């Protein structure tokens, strides 16, 4: 019989995989990997602000991630270079967050847990937050699926079809902000983007339709999560990095199989 903390860890990982898989497909298609990194790094500023204001860490991280998403969308629309903006927000948010945490009197923060995740410490409230966020993200993607696909393919085609490409971009960024907020506890700020990118990249050669790729990416993330938790428990390794390492191993296997084909 599995211990309760392992069951909660598995459920938390599956919730993140459910949301990160389909969303990661758009990240791969749009080549937005750096945006995921920037949002995750800036999330540490949200942790610092949450501690300073004595509010929920989830609320602080979500607020900062949403501000980042809206700011990048607004500034890029004015012609500012996106890669430069992301670099400033990513490293600036990470640095300011760490400085603020160090200045808080009596604050006890597990930096390793924030950076690499602490999935084995997930509680019932965390589970509720993770699954609520996952359901919202999946529902949002399902609702805007056609518009997001058209905007991903071509902005001009989107305008000709009556789709506001900027609106779809903002919806995608908001969904990404929510995934970062719920995944911070599971895999940490440094590994969130890996759970977005690696499963989607792993199944991409085997999917014939965008919908199939989204489903396969979620399944691949779930397999990596369960396998990573099992290996972490067996070999006493950090769970978040082990999950990402398992996902990376699946990507390597996928690449080898495609070359042989």
What is the pLDDT confidence band of residue 250, given thresholds at 50, 70 and 90?
very high
Note whether 93 and 44 are within 8 A (CB).
yes
User: Of the ranges 19-33, 48-62, 95-109, which one carries the lowest mean pLDDT score?
Assistant: 95-109
Tokens of 131: 């699954």
CB atoms within 10 A of CB 171: 19
Torsion of CA 201, 213, 133, 66, to 10 degrees: 60
Residue 106 pLDDT exceeds 70: no
The tens digit of pLDDT for each residue in 149-206 reads 999 888 778 888 888 888 888 888 889 889 988 888 888 887 888 999 999 999 999 9
Q: What percent of the chain has pLDDT over 90?
A: 41
CATH classification of 4-260, choosing from 2.60.40.10, 3.40.50.170, 1.10.3470.10, 3.40.50.410?
1.10.3470.10
Three-state SS across 34-91? HHHHHHHHHHHHHHHHHHHHCCCHHHHHHHHHHHHHHHHHHHHHCCCCHHHHHHHHHH
Residue 211's pLDDT is 95
Domain boundaries, the chain: 4-260
1 falls in which pLDDT band (50, 70, 90)? very low
Confidence of residue 253 (pLDDT cuts 50, 70, 90): very high
Rounded to the nearest integer, the mean pLDDT of the chain is 87
Answer whether 19's CB lies under 8 Å from 130's CB.
no
> What's the confidence (pLDDT) of residue 109?
66
- How many angstroms separate the CA atoms of 80 and 195, rounded? 28
Q: State in Å, rounded, how far the first CA of the chain is from the last one.
A: 41
Predicted confidence at residue 55, as pLDDT, reads 86
pTM: 0.89
């Amino acid at each position: 019989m599995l211990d309760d903390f392992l069951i909660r860890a598995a459920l938390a990982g599956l919730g993140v995989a459910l949301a990160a898989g389909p969303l990661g497909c758009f990240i791969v298609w749009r080549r937005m990997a750096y945006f995921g990194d920037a949002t995750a790094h800036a999330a540490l500023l949200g942790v610092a602000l949450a501690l300073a204001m004595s509010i929920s860490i989830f609320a602080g991280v979500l607020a900062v991630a949403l501000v980042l998403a809206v700011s990048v969308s607004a500034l890029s629309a004015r012609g500012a270079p996106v890669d430069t903006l992301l670099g400033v927000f990513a490293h600036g948010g990470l640095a300011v967050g760490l400085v603020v945490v160090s200045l808080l009197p009596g604050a006890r923060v597990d930096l390793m847990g924030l950076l690499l995740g602490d999935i084995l410490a997930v509680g019932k409230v965390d589970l509720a937050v993770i699954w609520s966020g996952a359901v919202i993200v999946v529902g949002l993607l399902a609702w805007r699926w056609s518009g997001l696909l058209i905007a991903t393919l071509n902005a001009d085609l989107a305008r000709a079809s009556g789709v506001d490409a900027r609106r779809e971009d903002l919806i995608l960024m908001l969904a990404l902000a929510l995934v970062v907020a719920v995944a911070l506890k599971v895999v940490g700020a440094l590994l969130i983007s890996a759970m977005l990118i690696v499963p989607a990249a792993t199944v991409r050669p085997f999917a014939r339709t965008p919908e199939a790729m989204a489903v396969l990416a979620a399944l691949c993330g779930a397999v990596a999560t369960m396998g990573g938790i099992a290996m972490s428990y067996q070999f006493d390794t950090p769970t978040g990095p082990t999950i990402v390492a398992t996902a990376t191993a699946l990507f390597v296997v996928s690449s080898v199989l495609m070359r042989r084909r």
